[in-house]
A and B are shown apart, each in its own frame.
Chain A
Amino acid sequence: MSAAASAAAGDWLPAAEVTESGRPVLTAGEVERHLVAQADLEPEESPRLSPLRGRLLVLTSHRLILLHDATRSARAIPLAAVVHAYPPHRRHGNNPLRSIFSSSSSSSSSSSHHPRVRLQISLPPARSEVVAVVVTGKGDAADVFYGRLLEAVRARAWEMVAVSAAAATTAPGGGGSLGAQGAAPVVEDLAIRMPVVGVSGILRMEQEAWESAGQNLQDAFQDLNALMSKAKEMMELAEKMRQKLLTNSSAQSNSNDEEMGSKQDMQDWLLSVGIVSPVTKETAGALYHQQLSRQLADYIRTPLEKAGGMMALVDVYCLYNRARGTELISPEDLLQACSLWEKFDVPVMLRKFDSGVKVIQTKTHSDDEVFARISSLAQKEDALHKGISPSDAAFTLGIAPALAKEHLLNAESIGILCRDVSPDGLRFYINLFNEIDRQNIYLAKTHGIYHTWISVTPASSQ
C-alpha cells in the first residue's frame, strides 16, 4: 500500500468537514476531548479496506476524526458505531512470528512496534469491522488516548444531543418566562444545541433550566457536572449568571420594551460569541499551540470582518477569552498562537506597527482603503478647520482609538497627513505643505485642497 493510496484512502469511512485553517468542524454540542499528533488507522480483518496513515487524531465527544493536514481532508468514525474498544497492546509482543514476517515484507513495518488500540466498529449497513488505531507517539500516548476514548464512549454525549433537540422542539409553549421563549429560536438558528463549555454553554444550561418547569435548578447543574470535569468553577459562574437573570426577570414586568430588547440583544450576542469546544492544554497536549492557532484563525474571521479587517491584539484577547468562557488562555499563549499563523495557510495574520502596537488583520486587508477613508475624513470642512484626533477617526472608522491612532500615524508617514501638537493634544491635518508654492506664498492656486482650506478657515481668509 503506497503513500499515495493512503492519502486518498478511507472512503469506507464517512467524510468529516474541515475548516480553512485545518480544524475539524464540530457539530452542535460536540466537544473536543483529546488529540494525537500522529496515528494510523488499519483495518485488521478486511484487506480490501485501505489503511489511513499519518493522520492527526481528534477525539471528540461524538466522533473519532482522522485529519490529513496536507490535503485538509478528514474521515470520521462516529463513537456511536464503536461497539468495543480493546486496551492498547503491541503486536509483536503477542505474535512474534507475524512481527518477523511483517518487518521483512515491509507492508506495515513502520507501525508494527507501536502500540495499537483495536476497535470493533459497526459500519452501515450492519457490517462489523475491527480496526486498529496505531499511535505512533512516544511514551504512554496510547494509554492516555485509550482512557479518553473510553470516557467519551461511555459518556454517550451524542445521545444527549438527540434528547435535548427533541425536548426543544416538543415543548416550546410550556416554558415559563418571556425571555426563554424569545431566546429559544435564536439558539436553534445558531445550531448551538448542546454547548457544554464557554459562555454559550452556560447560557444554554440556563435556557434548559427555564424550559423544564418542574425540574429544579440543582438537578440541572448535576447534569452539567456529569459533562464537565471543571464543574465546580462552572457552577459558581452559572449560579452567578442565573441570579442575574432572575433579578432581571423579576424586574421585567415593570421595565419598558427597550430594556427588554437590549437584554435580548445581550443574550443573542453572548450566544453568538461562544466557542462550544475551546482547544485546551488538557485535550490538545503538545499540539496545544498549533491547534489553538487554527481555532483562533477560524474564530476571529467573523469579528474581524465586522471590525473592518483589523483588530488590536488586546481586543482579540478579550473577545477570544470571552468566547471561550472558562477555559481562558494567557496572553503569551495568544501571541504564540498568532505567530504560528505564518506556518499555516490561514486567511489572517499578525501585524506589528512601528510603534509596537500589535494587531490582527485579514490577509486581504489593504491599507490603501484605510488611507482613502482617512484622507476624505481629513478633508471635511470641520477637519480642515480643526484637524482630527485619534478618537475622531476611531468614531468615524468604527475602530478602537489605539488602532485609529496607528492608522493616522501610518497616513502621516506616507505624507497624507501632518501633525499638530498643542495643549489640546495630538491632532492631524490634511498635509498642505506640498500644495504651497514656495515662489508665491501669498497666493494659492484657485483650486485644490490648499485653496479649499483657506476658504474654510476663518483666520486665514480675513
Chain B
Amino acid sequence: MQRMGDFRLPPFFNYPPYFTLQPVRETREKQVQLWKDLILDYCKSQKIYIVSLEEDFPLFSNPKIERSLSYEAKEVFLSALVNEGRAEWMDKGHKKCLILWMRIQDWANYILNFVKENGLEDNVMTVEEIRSGIETRGTELEGIDRGVLMRALKLLEQKGKAAIFKGTSADDEGVKFSA
C-alpha cells in the first residue's frame, strides 16, 4: 500500500481521473466526497490546520502517476469542506484554508475531557502551555492552531466551563477551567 510519510493512501489515489475535476454532476459529487474525506483524514493524521492553495500540499499531487490537482479543483474540494463547516476560508481571495478536522464544538469537548482526565479543574493554564506544554504532549492538543484553540476556549467560556483572562502581554493569555 502506498504511503505519504506515515499516512496510508487509498488505492484510488493512483486513479488518474481522481485528479481531474469531473464535469458530470453525479460523478463529481462522489469525487468531491472522496476528496473531502481524504483531506480531513490526512490533516488529522499529520496535524495540519492550514492548507494554502498557492503552496505545495503533498496530498494534492501524485508524482507516481504524474497527476496533480488544478487550482480550480483544489478550490472546489476545499469549498465543499467549507460548506460542510469542516473548513473555513482565511481570506477573501480563498488562498488559505483552515481545516477543522475536529469541529470547534468537538475541540471544546476534547479539552474538557482532557481537563477532567488530568484533574486540571480549577487550575490555570496559559494558552501556550496547552499548545506546547508537557501535559498535552501526545494528545491531539499538541501543536493545536492558536486560532482554533482560542475559539474552542471561548466556546467553553460561553458555557461557563472556563474563564479566559489576559496576562501582561497579548501573547500571554491564561485560562481557568471549572468543572
Contact = CB atoms under 8 A, between A and B. Distances in A.
Interface of A: 387, 412-413, 415, 418-422, 427, 429, 431-434, 436, 438, 441-442, 444, 450, 453-454, 457, 459-462
Contact of A433 (B8, B34, B64, B65): B34
Given A413-B24, A415-B27, A441-B34, A457 B1 contact: no
A420 B20 contact: yes
A421 B27 contact: no
Interface string B1-34: 1100000101111111101101110110011011
Contacts of A422: 16, 20, 66-67
Given A418-B24, A442-B8, A460-B11, A387 B30 contact: no
Nearest to B33: A438
A436 B30 CA distance: 9
Nearest to A420: B16
A457 B66 CA distance: 14
A442 B38 CA distance: 11
B37 interface: yes
B19 A420 contact: yes
18 contacts: A412-B24, A415-B24, A418-B24, A419-B22, A421-B20, A431-B27, A432-B12, A432-B15, A432-B17, A434-B27, A442-B8, A442-B10, A444-B11, A457-B11, A459-B2, A460-B12, A460-B14, A461-B11
Contacts of A412: 23-24, 27
Contact of A419 (B10, B23, B30, B33): B23
Given A418-B24, A429-B16, A441 B37 contact: yes
Nearest to A441: B10
B17 A459 contact: no
A433 B30 contact: yes
Contact of A441 (B2, B12, B19): B12
Interface of B: 1-2, 8, 10-17, 19-20, 22-24, 26-27, 30-31, 33-34, 37-38, 64-67
B90 to A, nearest CB: 28
A365 B176 CA distance: 76
A412 B20 CA distance: 13
Contacts of A461: 11
B37 A438 contact: yes
A368 B34 CA distance: 29
Contacts, number: 83
Nearest to A433: B30
A462 B11 contact: no
* Pairs of residues from A and B, 6 with the lowest C-beta to C-beta distance, nearest first: A420-B16, A433-B30, A441-B10, A460-B14, A459-B14, A460-B11
Given A457-B14, A459-B2, A460-B14, A438 B20 contact: no
A387 to B, nearest CB: 7
Nearest to B67: A422
B14 A415 contact: no
A429 B20 CA distance: 11
B30 A454 contact: no
Contacts of A421: 20
A66 B33 CA distance: 68
Given A418-B17, A420-B16, A429-B15, A462 B22 contact: no
B11 A454 contact: yes
Given A433-B31, A434-B30, A436-B34, A419 B11 contact: no
A462 B20 CA distance: 23
B27 A418 contact: yes
Contacts of B23: 412, 419
A432 B16 CA distance: 11
B38 to A, nearest CB: 7
A460 B1 CA distance: 7
A415 B24 CA distance: 7
A129 to B, nearest CB: 69
B64 A459 contact: yes
Given A419-B17, A420-B16, A422-B16, A438 B2 contact: no
Nearest to B13: A460
Contact of B11 (A415, A431, A438, A442): A442
Given A441-B10, A460-B2, A419 B20 contact: yes
A419 B10 CA distance: 19
B16 A427 contact: yes
A237 to B, nearest CB: 48
A354 to B, nearest CB: 11
Contacts of A418: 17, 20, 22, 24, 27, 31
A459 B30 contact: no
Contacts of B19: 420
